[in-house]
Each structure stands twice: as C-alpha cells, then as structure tokens.
Homo-oligomer: A and B are copies of this chain.
Amino acid sequence: MLERTDGGQAQPALIVGSIGLDTVQTPFGSVTDALGGAASYAAAAASFYAPVRLVGVVGEDFPSPYLELLKARGVDLAGVEVRSGRTFRWSGYYEYDLNTAHTVSTHLNVFESFRPRLPEAYRDSPYLFLANIDPELQLSVLEQVLHPALTLCDTMNYWIESKRKHLLAVLERVDVVLLNDAEARQLCDTTNLVAAARSILGMGPRAVIIKKGEHGAVMCTGRSHFSAPSFPLEEVRDPTGAGDSFAGGLVGFLAYAGDPCERNLRKAIVFGSVMASYNVEDFSLNRLLSLTPELVLERYRQFHDISHFEQA
C-alpha cells in the first residue's frame, strides 16, 4: 500500500459488486474460468491505496485460491457470501479492435439473487464504490451505509435502458458517477460528451467522470473540467476490467488522500488510469496482482510527463 508522508491514515473503501469467473479470448491469448467481476478488479486496484472491504457473492464452486489472492492484497472478505450454486460466469472475446467486447454468454447463477447485505462493521465505511450492478441494489446499499464521506457509482447500458428510474434515483444520491462515453451519450441522448456531462450533473452528482478507453478520461464538475490522457500501450492483451480497475484506483486514492477536493479528484483519476493501463497488459487480475507501489508511482510520473506542457 502507498504510505502517506504526512503520517495520516488511509480510510477504508467499501466496494460492492460482482465477483465472477471469466472465460476470455483475445488475439493475444485466452483464459478459462479466471478470476473476474467488476468488484474483484476494483478491490485489487484499490488495495494499493487503502484498506478495502468487499461485498459480493460467489458459488460453492468458486476456487478458494482466488479468494486467497484478494486476501493477500489485504482485502477484507467478511462481506463476500458463499452461496450454494454456481458462481457468476461471463464469457466473451475481443477481435483486433479491442474496444469492443463480444459476449458469448452470461450466466448470473448465484448473482441473480444477490441482495447485498453489509456486515455491521462495514456500515461506517467512509468511502463507497458501487460497481456496475442493478441500480435497485445500489440504492439498497446506499440505505445501509451510515454517513459516508464520499459515494461513487458505475453503471452500464443495460440499466440505462431497463432501469432508468432507479438509476436516476441513484444519481440523485451519489457524489460521483463514473460511466463510459457510449453510456454517457446514451443516458443523455446526445452525441456531444460535454453536453452529456453537464446534463448528468443536473441529475445530482457533483462530479461526472467519463471513461474513454484509449482516449483517456474526463471529469466535469459544476466549476471545472479535467482531461486525463491514456497511457500509450502498443499491446493491449485483454481489456477486460479496465474500467473497474480505473474505478478501484480512483476510489482507493481518494480513501488514501482523505479529501475529495478538485486537486485530489484529478490525482485520483490519474491513479485510476495507472491501474487500468497496467491491468490491460495481461489477462484477469494477473498484472494488478503483480504490481508494487513503486511501479504504480513510476507510471503516475509517466502520465504526468505525457500530458505536461508549459504555460504560454
């Protein structure tokens, strides 16, 4: 974990979402039943910055070594339920255009009846990331946390279409929303991303962060606009989990820094980009789990160099 130089302590970050088994093929290789799920990626990424509490569900078939990998990163697994039945599984492939995931199959299995229940000790979590799950479940988690310092949520096209009303209720209540460019355009029915961001701000959150994959990320607040670059990678082996690693690094850094001011939000977006850029270098969580704080800081400095230019 990164150490604060001022002697302060990173606060706990609570992450709620899917834990799954992914079968993925890309032009650079494949994996079968590998550790996956939005919350797994986010938890592993966040664990470099802050103590992480994880809430999710797995089936009896979930390989215990995968839980050990997260535990070894210091992730608190008291909120991970093991249910009778099979674990959530996703199978998909990417062609040379790695921007588009082609889904072969999605089996919700035990995830279908997932009703997140926070252990009593989690209810005071100051930082909360609601990964991409049914907005009704996101709302139920928001009911269970006591007085969080900062709440963030992700979402996806499916909920924008099928559960818009509940999603809007979530947006009214969270501080920061993360979504990708296609989702932002879809949610606001506009092609202009800046107009979309402004429109989402009007729905409640005080910051909107739009993930643009190879084009980096942007953040809009009522008073500012920030554009973060992407890292120039010649080879992306597996884009799965990029957005979730981004979110994990982001919420993890905010829990580490302790003050979600503009300055720290910008740094958090870059730390999120660092985690995402590493994550896509290998399948599953392999790269994330082999990182060190030194490698994280090294790439942060590279991001700084990539986007730096002098004042006029």
Contact = CB atoms under 8 A, between A and B. Distances in A.
Interface stretch (A11-19, A64-72, A297-305): A297-305
Contacts of A269: 309
Size class of the A contact interface (CB-based, 8 Å): 35 or more
Nearest to A97: B191
A312 interface: yes
Interface string A190-218: 11111101100000000000001011101
Contacts of A306: 225-227
Contacts of A227: 216, 229-230, 232, 306-307
Contacts of A113: none
A202 to B, nearest CB: 13
27 contacts: A96-B190, A96-B191, A192-B235, A194-B232, A194-B234, A198-B234, A215-B216, A216-B216, A216-B227, A224-B305, A225-B232, A225-B306, A226-B307, A227-B230, A227-B232, A228-B307, A229-B229, A229-B307, A266-B308, A266-B309, A266-B310, A267-B312, A269-B309, A301-B311, A301-B312, A304-B309, A304-B312
Interface in A216-250: 216, 218, 220, 224-230, 232-236
Contacts of A300: 312
Nearest to A303: B309
A135 B98 CA distance: 32
Contact of A267 (B216, B224, B233, B310): B310
Contact of A307 (B98, B195, B230, B307): B307
